[in-house]
Amino acid sequence: MYGVIDVGTTGVKLFIYDENLRKTYHEKTVVGFEKISQQYIEQSSLQIANVVRGFVKKAREKGVKKIGICTYRASILAWRKDGTPITNIITWIDGRGREVLERLSPTAKILKKLSRSLNVILSPDSPAILIRWVYDNVPRLIEEVKAGKAYVWTLDSYILYILTGKFLADATNATLTGLIHPRNFSEIDIVFELLKLPKITPEVTGNTHLFGSFEDVEVCACIADQQAASVGFGVLGKGEVQSTHGTGSFVETVTEKLSIPTSGLVPIIILRIDDEKTYGLEGFVRSTGSTLEWLMKIGLFKDYSEAEMLLHQFDKRALLVPSFGGFRIPYLRDLRGMILGLGLDTSS
């Protein structure tokens, strides 16, 4: 029996499969956001930890011996050596990174404009930027990390830590931080220097790896969620494309080698098995499914079936562009929540 735990933005799911990979069990626990302000969007680290550990125990009770982990990406937190979280999870849709960018040194701002790579890394939603924010705002955290008493890294690393007691990160998540190079998995020195971050990073592994065990269940796989979708659909050949839609929408394409785009797109590792790497490029919109939920919340329609009915009911339509997080292509971070096609005949 095999288990999979999918840690998503809106919920944590457990799947169990038999020896023939037929699904025999499925359960979901809904988790919500803790919206501190318009730009601060967090999730409870403790709640995620408790749900994940509970699901591993349930999987063991149902005969599971090996389990894989899939997590949402580009989200960070700090935790103590005993696994106790110091902060909530700062999610990938959080906007506080702008505060760090405004305080960048003149040298960093110039290099950001001159370098395509640094322009991608030094962006508001970059985990590297969010890690700097945590160090700036949690008293004495940097001293604790340097002393080996605490850690700051991504969600996948935290989950692996609470299950195995080891400071690890898988390649698909680690290389999205902007601190680990996707070609050779070494630390990107210039980013650490520009952001004045302590060079304390987890061991970066492939997506299949014997990470350790929890409650006698081996943790033997870990991968970022969008990359997991590519692998699941078999999108691993050059030029192949897949798109997934949830809280946000993501489009990934497989490339022959590591490619640094001119703007907007993000270079990614889709899969690493031992020393073999599959590279890709990704474009995304942060708010699509979440925008539909917002439209329901403000009363424009009750459910998705009503939205579908309204779509076909009128010839003249106003168009809402679900860009609550700004645009990446073209890069216009302040272009948010546009409504087009309004006229005197437009009603609510």
Closest CA to 91 of 30, 135, 155: 155
Determine what percent of the chain is predicted with pLDDT higher than 90: 66
In a domain, 71, yes or no: yes
Structure tokens at 11: 């919920």
On the 0-12 / 13-18 / 19+ scale of CB atoms within 10 A, 154 is buried
- How far apart are alpha carbons 273 and 267 in whole angstroms? 18
In a domain, 297, yes or no: no
The mean per-residue pLDDT over the stretch 132-153 comes to: 98
Does the pLDDT of residue 286 top 90, yes or no?
no
In a domain, 114, yes or no: yes
In a domain, 324, yes or no: no
Q: b/e for 19-56, b at 16 or more Cβ within 10 A? A: eeeeeebeeeeebebeeeeeeebbbbbebbbebbbebb
User: What is the span of the domain harbouring residue 173?
Assistant: 2-225
The mean per-residue pLDDT over the stretch 175-194 comes to: 96
Closest CA to 50 of 75, 15, 85: 85
Give yes or no for a contact between 142 and 133, defined as CB atoms under 8 angstroms apart.
Answer: no
Kindly report each contact of residues 122-126 with a partner whose C-beta sits within 8 Å and lies 24 or more positions away, as own/partner: 122/178, 122/191, 122/194, 123/97, 124/95, 124/97, 124/98, 124/333, 125/74, 125/92, 125/93, 125/94, 125/95, 125/97, 125/286, 125/325, 126/74, 126/97, 126/177, 126/178
- How far apart are alpha carbons 172 and 277 in whole angstroms? 10
- How far apart are alpha carbons 268 and 271 in whole angstroms? 9
At residue 230's C-alpha, the angle toward residues 2 and 221, to 5°, is 35
pTM value? Answer: 0.90
Taking each helix axis from N to C end, the angle separating 155-164 and 45-61, rounded to the nearest 10 degrees, works out to: 50
Query: Binning pLDDT at 50, 70 and 90, where does residue 315 land?
Result: low
In a domain, 45, yes or no: yes
Say which CATH number the domain at 215 has: 3.30.420.40
Integer CA distances (angstroms), 123 to 107, 153, 284, in order: 15, 17, 14
Looking at every residue in the chain, the average pLDDT score rounds to 91
In a domain, 251, yes or no: no
Query: Binning pLDDT at 50, 70 and 90, where does residue 308 land?
Result: confident
In a domain, 69, yes or no: yes
In a domain, 295, yes or no: no
One-letter amino acid at 98 equals R
What confidence tens digit (pLDDT) does each residue in 2-40 have? Answer: 999 999 988 999 999 999 999 999 999 999 888 777 789
E strands within the chain? 2-7, 11-17, 23-30, 34-35, 41-43, 66-71, 76-80, 89-90, 150-154, 168-170, 203-205, 208-214, 217-224, 241-245, 249-255, 266-273, 276-285, 319-321, 338-340
* Residue 276 pLDDT: 95
**Total number of domains constituting the chain:** 1
Does the pLDDT of residue 337 top 80, yes or no?
no
